Amino acid sequence: MSRGARALGSGRPAACSEPGRIRAGSGPARRKQARIAGPDRRHVAATSCTTRARVAPLHDNAAMRILHTMLRVGDLQRSIRFYTEVLGMTLLHTTERPEQKYDLAFLGYGRNPEHAEIELTYNYGVTSYELGGAFGHIAIGVPDVHASCAALRDKAAALGGAVTREPGPVQGGTTMIAFVTDPDGYKIELIERAD
């Protein structure tokens, strides 16, 4: 490999033709160089621009969307009621797979790809899951976090959920937030937003 870095996979020199991007093509790179391990564990040269460089994405970002987040639940009907009655989502569709021993329910505030959905998965015979420490929360924008908590508090409790962090500013900031926990223990952050 020559002294100048090469754009990954292209065999051509990388150049920073605009701030914040590494592009293949037009000339030598003039920035920091490092050796990193590629997918085949061989080292390749990587170059970054001094102004917050990032490698151009492998996919067309304009075509990519988050479609849904899947949550495993212990009681599908109870969870459907929580997400529709407490959080105001719409049950979009369900799928039953008795031969594979699972059922699905998709809920949201609209259909994908315009809106992300929640996929609830019930595996037959499993009534609870160990949530672990990696998953954080789902976030939902609301116009008034205090009013939202007041409106959903009793409904959430009746279905096994709870307001677990009262409305107030985010630590170190001014954005108003609250947290609700669903019947399976998943956390939902309510964020006050004007839009």
Which residues are tagged catalytic? 189
> How does DSSP assign 119-186, residue by residue?
EEEEETT-------SS---EEEEES-HHHHHHHHHHHHHHTT-EEEEEEEEPTTS--EEEEEE-TTS-
What are the distances in angstroms from CA 164 to CA 43, 137, 139, 187? 48, 12, 14, 9
Residue in the block written with tokens 């329910």? 105
**Contact of 59 with 43, CB cutoff 8 Å:** no
Provide the residue type at 56 as one letter.
A
> How does DSSP assign 46-73, residue by residue?
EEE-TTT--BPPSS-GGG----EEEEE-
Helices (H) and strands (E) in the chain, counts: 2, 12
- In three-state secondary structure terms, 97 is strand
